[in-house]
Amino acid sequence: MNERQQSHIDYYLERLEYWRKRKPAHSTARLLAARDADEAHPLRTEEEATEVVEYLWRLERQQDEEHSG
């Protein structure tokens, strides 16, 4: 991950917590956090975006497994 991608991820996670506290549906909170991160820390290439999305997907899946098991 490059610095831009890491900034995007960090900001996304911060905004996700913010939106979750406001209690929208889970998918809505994720979309709003993604929008915020895209505006604050835009990614330059499709490859960068793919890496970020895959990382966040793995992180979410790992957290779901920790909470369920």
Backbone torsions φ then ψ of 41, nearest 5 degrees: -140, 70
> Can you read off the two tokens belonging to residue 33?
């956090």
pLDDT digits (tens, 9 = 90+) for 24-35: 898 999 999 999
In whole angstroms, how far apart are CA 41 and each of 7, 13, 17, 56, 67? 7, 12, 17, 15, 29
Give yes or no for residue 69 having a pLDDT over 80.
no
pLDDT digits (tens, 9 = 90+) for 39-61: 999 999 999 999 999 999 999 99
- How far is it, in rounded angstroms, from Cα 22 to Cα 59? 22
